[in-house]
Structure 1
Amino acid sequence: MVTGNEHDAIGAHRPGGRSGAVKNAKMKDVAALAGVSPKTVSNVINGFVHVTPGTRERVERAIRTLGYRPNVSARNLRRGRTGMIGLVLPELNIPYFTELAEQFLAVAEEHGRTLLIEQTLGDRAREAAVIDGLGDQVVDGIVLSPLGLHGQALAGRVDAMPLVLIGERPSGGLTDHVAIDNVSAAREAVAHLIAGGRRRIAAIGAQLEPDVGTPLLRMAGYHQALCDAGLPVDARLEIETARYHLADGARAMRTLLDAGDPPDAVFCFNDALALGALRALYERRVRVPQDIAVMGFDDVDAGRYAIPSLSSVAPDKAAVARQAVQLLLDRIEAPDTAAREIVIGHQLRVRESSAITR
Structure 2
Amino acid sequence: MKLGILDQSHIGEGRTAADALAETTRLAQHAEQLGYSRFWMSEHHASAALAHSSPEIMIAHVAAATSRIRVGSGGVMLPHYSTYKVAENFRLLEALHPGRIDLGLGRAPGGMPLATRALQEDKHVDIRKYPEQVADLRGYLVEGLPASHPFAKLEISPAIDTAPEIWLLGSSDESARIAALQGTGYAFAQFFGTPGGMEAIRYYREHFRPSAACGLPRTMAAVLAICADTEEEANLLAMSTDLFFLRLESGLPLNDLPSVKTAVDYPYTEYDMLRIKHARQRRIVGTPAQVKEQLEALAADYSADELLIVSPIHEMEARLKSYRLIAEAFGLHASVPGGDK
Q: TM-score, normalised by structure 1?
A: 0.28
Q: Taking structure 2 as the reference length, what is the TM-score of the superposition?
A: 0.29
User: Which structure would you say has the larger RCO, counting Cα contacts within 8 Å and 6 or more residues apart?
Assistant: 2
Q: Which one has a bigger Cα radius of gyration?
A: 1
